[in-house]
Structure 1
Amino acid sequence: MRLKSLIPVAMMLSTTPALAEKGKPEAPDREVWVTMGADAVAPMRESFKSAGWEEPTAVVAKEQAAMFRLRESQLSRLATLMHEKFNRCAGFITSETREEALATLEPALAVAPQNLVTYTLNNATTVNTLMGAMTEANVRGTITMLSGYSTRYYTSQGGVDAANSLLAKWKGYVPAARTDVKVELFRHTAWAQPSVILTITGTTLASEVVVVGGHLDSINSSGGNAPGADDDASGVASFTEVIRVAMARNYRPQRTVKFMAYAAEEVGLRGSKEIAAYHKNNAINVVGVLQLDMTNYKGSTTADVALITDNTNAAQNTFLRNLITTYVKIPQTNSTCGYGCSDHASWNAQGFAASIPFEATLSTSNPYIHTANDTLARSANNANHALKFSKIAAAYVAELAKGTAQ
């Protein structure tokens, strides 16, 4: 990617935005660095101008992406634009420093240890044991719990409370005898909502890590309630069911498995970005990442799952396709979602192999997200579609982390 121009940092933000986003909890109005796809730059400037704000000037502009310095209070409007015009969630990446933002413009080379991973499908007994114990009712229960909060916005008390409720739910699944399992909060210094992480330490390959995640926060583009039943209570619920059956069936993975519910995705992938950077900076050998963001709205008539092919790892995507064909046996297709469209982009930017199976093609996905109407009722008050993604995640974990279940 060639550098087209470097524009001096004569920033436009001498004043704060004229109005806070209606109904949003106010975040500290700090300056942050934001990178986005080049196709979103002109619409962002027009959107900010229509709000009475000064048009942002690019600090760095490249052929495919650009970097800006914005205020935190402008992020929710940017998230609204990305959803309404590009169907992206979030569609941009927020960084605390200029150096971090520059790094997102030049994704890291693939982490060398990933070359040692061999994708095999030889653990069918464990896959089928986990999949066979899954129920729609349990997935639905988690969606109902999380979407019961009026908002899970990253600066809100609801966002904090939802994280604590999920922490308690996951802890409740873990038998006292499972000393190899740890459930904890990952606290972020720049905002209130923590991320939630459950770790099952591997038996023989503990230094190799498999990550399954989705985002915990929600947002309403117009203010007011943000139930986020599909975006992304559904994804979190899908892999929460993997946790439940893993504990119920005494699953013991060879590789370490980490389940992560990320904070602050809707405002620039902030939680996952910090966590992925932590793993990279501490030389933690993450051998694969699966992202579940929106799993319960069946918008496509010809396919149950769309594999996102941009900003993901091609080899792992092929592995995922084989898992779906072999074990889940549902129709699949491919789709693209653009720059920074979900938390997998945070891991991809650090050089880790990441994939995201999505509920539909982008053009047929849930049209009610980021509104008060993103409720379970939009999926006929059931989690039948999300259960399919629970099975995908179970197959992914059992075949990448290997191990046994009873």
Structure 2
Amino acid sequence: MLKYRAIVFSACITILAASAREDGDRYQYQSTHQIIFQPTPQDDPISRLSSLKDLVELKHPATVPVSNQDLLLFDKHIKAYPEKRLIRWSDGHQEWMTEGEKSLLILKENGRKFVDVTDWEKDEPEKQELISGFDQESSRILTLDRISNRQSTFPSEIQFGLKKLKDDYFGLIQTSRMKSRLLEFSHFRTRYYRSSTGQKSQRWLLDLIQSLVSKSSSNVTVSEFKHEWGQNSIIARFQPHPNSNETDLIKTQTFVIGAHLDSTNLLPILSAPGADDDGSGTTSILEAFDVLLQQNWGPKPNQGAVEFMWYSAEEGGLLGSQQVARAYRDAGRTVTGMVQFDMTAYVKAGTTPTIGLITDFVDPSLTQYLRLLIDEYLSVGWTNTRCGYACSDHASWIKVNVPSAFAIESTFQDSNHKIHTTSDTIDVLGFSFDHMAEFSKLIIGLIIELKGL
């Protein structure tokens, strides 16, 4: 008898029939496709799951076809993870399902974002209503209003300017180096957070980061944030002084730059190169990190610390960043702000390159500060856009009352539609390392403006 509910019940799965349009729900659906998952009397996985093949090919006909062997692997995958998880969607609906069933959501939900809030439910069930509350119209986070009434304030003027950073910092950015690193990073079959190659890709990135640090005299520590699923998050910290201790970690004001290192396909057993999602963001922040190291940069006295974070398991419902953010909160760490860089490479044909600044579920003051920095330091402009509920790891920091923002490659409607497929490679028309480099400039400008030159 079939053990897992996602294959037992009849699921009505909506399919995107027209181009995505920018709105609070991310997509406008214009047709539906009924997919019935029913066990056969013999419980034959191939017969039972064959409709998944049609669904994958319907959504992304250019991708590699799903084989019978893939179906057998997926059947095994679902059965291997019976742990119950609590999933919340943007409309406030939440549902318990197994970890195995959760792996159907990328395929089934058509981009409707979800968060795995299981650990929050276990730790703080009485705060769940506060954690989920947002006022979309004003971009004010009700969590902030109700818990602390905190008002964040970021600078309204530029301290240094393009002339001071152009040669010594921006001049060190190399798109050829970015391409070489991203090619290797996206050559892992998948970076799915529960896969062996997901673990290997994370260790590859960790080794690279440690190698870069070893060549610099900057005061930087590199650590892994351990996760039970095996693929860890990576944290690299520019210390304000060389003899920092545990007390200093708690007291020192820290600003966070983030991206996620995992990838996924519509089904987790399929190849997921994830060059844009989020190999591009991973590489953009890595290049900025590398340039700062080459200049032996460090925060000036009394300016606090900077941490670069590469999160695991974003595609599993922001799992990695939630654990990191919650750990920092519980330890009493002072985090003054966080900016997420998720997808930084794609420029749609016929559009003008731009930095997309997300305006819903973010901190308005920090987002306005990013506009100021883009105007000063970048060769492209900015565009306001929306991405909906919990669309990347910045949402995990919003939950713990940290002002957060999110920069993306374009308006959300013009972003790369090849993500979560085998076609998310650097060969996609419109994939631009020059565009990725603009985000590296933004990160460098942001850090130096906040922490000193």
Normalised by the shorter chain, which TM-score bucket? 0.7 to 0.9
Name which of 69, 83, 92 aligns with 2:96: 69
Q: Distance in 2 between matches of 1:379 and 1:143?
A: 16
Query: Which residue in the other structure is 2:285 paired with?
Result: 239
Q: Could you give the per-residue CA deviations for residues 29-67 of structure 1, whole angstroms, max 9, x where no partner exists?
A: 2001111111xxxxxxxxxxxxxxxxxxxxxxxxxx122
1:236 corresponds to which letter in structure 2? T
State which drifts further: 344-353 or 71-80: 71-80
Please, what TM-score do these two structures have when normalized by structure 2?
0.73
Residue of structure 2 equivalent to 1:326: 376
TM-aligned CA distance change 1:376 to 1:274, over 3 Å: same
Task: Give 1:118 shift.
Answer: 4.2
Query: Aligned equivalents of 1:35 and 1:126: distance in 2?
Result: 46
For 2:111 and 2:312, the matched residues in 1 are separated by 24
Which residue does 2:159 correspond to in 1?
A: 122
Distance apart, 1:93 and its partner CA: 3.6
Greater RCO, 1 or 2 (C-alpha within 8 Å, sep 6+): 1
2:266 to 221, 236, 245: 221
- Change in 2 beyond 3 A, CA 1:161/1:119: farther
The more displaced of 172-181 and 316-325 is 172-181
The structure-2 alpha-carbon separation of the partners of 1:120 and 1:81, relative to structure 1 and needing over 3 Å to count, comes to farther
Deviation of the 1:15 alpha carbon:
4.2
Q: Secondary structure at the match of 1:305?
A: strand
Name the CA shift for 1:304/1:30 in 2 (closer, same or farther; >3 Å).
Answer: same
> 1-side partners of 2:410 and 2:427: how far apart?
18
Match of 1:263 in 2: 312
Q: 1:370 is matched with which residue?
A: 420
RMSD, aligned CA: 2.6
Structure 1 152/296 Cα, relative in aligned 2: closer, same or farther at 3 Å? same
Cα distance in structure 2, aligned partners of 1:197 and 1:157: 21
Determine what percentage of the aligned residue pairs are the same residue: 30
1:315 to 354, 365, 368: 365
Give distance in 2, aligned partners of 1:252 and 1:97: 35
Equivalent residue letter for 2:361: N
Q: Paired residue for 1:55?
A: none
SS at match of 1:108: helix
Aligned residues: 360
- Give the counterpart of 2:397 among 342, 347, 367: 347
Contact 1:136/1:382, CA 8 A, preserved across alignment: no
Change (3 A) 1:393 1:372: same
SS in 2 for 1:296: coil
Which residue does 2:331 correspond to in 1?
Answer: 282
Matched AA of 2:298: R
- In the aligned structure 1, how far is the partner of 2:116 from the partner of 2:369? 27
Deviation at 1:178, TM superposition (A): 3.5
Aligned to 1:166: 205
The normalised TM-score by structure 1 is 0.81
Larger Rg computed on CA atoms? 2
**After superposition, where does 1:204-215 map in structure 2 within 5 Å?**
207-215=252-260
Q: 1:114 to 1:337 in 2, by over 3 A?
A: same
Measured after TM superposition, the shift of residue 145 of structure 1 is 1.7
CA contact (8 A) 1:201 1:257 kept: yes
C-alpha contact 2:222 2:236 (8 A) present in aligned 1: yes
**Residue 116 of structure 1: CA displacement?**
6.7
Conserved? CA contact 1:113–1:285, under 8 Å? no
Which ranges of structure 2 fall in alignment gaps of 5 or more residues?
A: 8-44, 53-70, 134-141, 243-247
* Separation of aligned partners in 2, 1:296 and 1:381: 5
Query: CA shift at 1:74, angstroms?
Result: 1.7
Q: Residue 294 of structure 2 aligns with which residue?
A: 248
Residue 378 of structure 1: SS of its match in structure 2? Answer: coil
| Residues 336/93 of structure 1: CA separation in 2 closer, same or farther (3 Å cut) | farther
Asked if the contact 2:337/2:403 (under 8 Å) is kept, the reply is: yes
Moved more, 65-74 or 258-267: 65-74
Instruction: Indicate the SS of the match to 1:109.
Output: helix
Contact 1:153 1:217 in 2 (8 A): yes
Q: After superposition, give the CA deviation of every residue in 1:221-242 in whole Å (9 maximum; x if it has no partner).
A: 0442100000000000000001
8 Å CA contact retained: 2:219, 2:298: no
Matched with 2:188 is 149
Deviations 1:302-358 (A, max 9, x none): 351110001110000000000000111312111111111110111112111111111
C-alpha contact (below 8 Å) 2:106/2:265 kept by paired residues = no
What CA distance in whole angstroms lies between the structure 1 residues aligned with 2:198 and 2:385?
Answer: 30
Per-residue displacement from partner, 1:80-122 (whole Å, max 9, x unpaired)?
A: 334x344xxx543442352457253246327788747545420
Displacement of 1:75 in angstroms is 1.7
Which residue of the partner structure matches residue 31 of structure 1? Answer: 84
CA distances 1:259-285 after superposition (whole Å, capped 9, x unpaired): 111000001000001111111111211
In structure 1, distance between residues paired with 2:433 and 2:393: 22
* Structure 1 position 179, deviation (Å): 6.9
Aligned partner of residue 333 in structure 1, secondary structure: strand
Deviations 1:277-302 (A, max 9, x none): 11111121111101000000112713
**Which residue matches 1:178?**
217
Partner residue of 2:346?
297
Distance 1:329 1:286, change over 3 A: same
Work out the CA distance in 2 between the residues paired with 1:355 and 1:117. 12
User: Unpaired runs of 5+ in structure 1?
Assistant: 1-12, 39-64
- In 1, the alpha carbon distance for the partners of 2:386 and 2:292 equals 31
Which has the larger displacement, 107-116 or 236-245? 107-116
Contact 1:220/1:226 (8 A) holds in 2: yes
Distance 1:127 1:68 in 2: 49
| Cα distance in 1 for residues equivalent to 2:216 and 2:275 | 33
Which residue of the partner structure matches residue 57 of structure 1?
A: none
Residues in 1 aligned to 2:192 and 2:329: alpha-carbon distance in whole angstroms = 27
What's 1:62 paired with? none
1:308–1:337 Cα contact (<8 Å) kept: yes
Q: Distance in 2 between matches of 1:379 and 1:75?
A: 31
With 137-146 and 158-167 compared, the bigger mean Cα shift is at 137-146
**Contact 1:130-1:245 at 8 Å conserved across structures:** yes
